[in-house]
Amino acid sequence: MVARELISDTIPALKTSDTGKKALNWMEIFRISHLPIVNNLEFLGLISDSDIYDLNDPEQPVGNHHLSLIKPFARDSQHIFEVISIASFMKLTVVPVLDDKNHFLGVVLSSELIDRMAEMSSLKEPGGIIVLTLTQNDYSLSQIAQIIESNDAKVLNLYITSSPDSSQLEITLKLNTSNLLPVLQTFERFSYEVSAWHSDSDEMDSFYGDRFGSFMKFLDI
C-alpha cells in the first residue's frame, strides 16, 4: 500500500487568499491540526492551528502574514510504513503527498494511517497477543514459529521492539487463537520469558486465577 492510495478525498487545501479563521474552521470540522497551503499545484507548506493562533489578525489572508511553514511530504509511491514514519516523527495530523514533479496531490490523514495499519497488522482479527522478552542472541524466528505452530496456532503478525542501548528485544506476537494456554506453557518449557499476554479466553482466566490462588495460599504458609 502506497501513499497515493491513501489520499483523502475530503480534506481541502488552503490558498494564500484564505483567512486564518477559515483554516481554523476547517480544522475543527475535520478534527485535524494541520492544513496544506497550495498555490495551483505548488505545495507551499503546512500551517498548524498554533501558527494561526499566533497571528495578530486571523481575519486576514494567511498570505499576508510572514509564516515559517514546515514542508514535510511523502512521495506518492512511498510505502505506508514510510508515511507513518513521517507522521510520527513530525507529529502531524495530515501528511502532504507530492508526485515526482513536486505537484501537490492531496493529504493522508494520520487517523487513516492508524486504521490501515490495524488492518495490515491483523489487529482487528480475533485472537490473542503474547509478548516475549529475550536477548538478541536468543532470538530465533523459526523456533518461535515452531513452538506456536506445534500447538495448532498461527502467527498473524509479529513486531520487534529494541533499544539502541540494550541487547534486549521485545517480541509482540498476534496469534489466530484466543486460547493461549498451550502456547504459553510450551514457551515456559523452552525457558522463554513471557512478559505479557492478552486474551479474552475464559479458560485462560480460569487457569491463571487458579495459579494466583495457589500462590496466595503458598504465601500464607
What tens digit of pLDDT does each residue of 82-138 get? Answer: 999 999 999 999 999 999 999 999 999 999 998 888 777 666 678 899 999 999 999
Q: Where are the beta strands (DSSP E) in the chain?
A: 34-39, 42-48, 74-75, 94-98, 104-109, 129-135, 155-162, 168-175, 193-198
Q: Is residue 104 a part of any domain in this protein?
A: yes
Residues 93 and 142 in one domain: no
Residues 110 and 141 in one domain: no
CB within 8 Å of 41: residues ≥ 6 apart: 103, 104
Residues 68 and 26 in one domain: yes
> pLDDT band at residue 172, thresholds of 50, 70 and 90?
very high
End of a domain among 84, 118, 152?
118
Residues 79 and 180 in one domain: no
CATH number at residue 189: 3.30.70.260
End of a domain among 96, 118, 140?
118
Q: What's the pTM value of the predicted model, to 2 decimals?
A: 0.68
CB within 8 Å of 91: residues ≥ 6 apart: none
Number of domains present in the structure of the chain? 2
Q: Is residue 42 a part of any domain in this protein?
A: yes
Q: Which domain holds residue 27?
A: 3-118
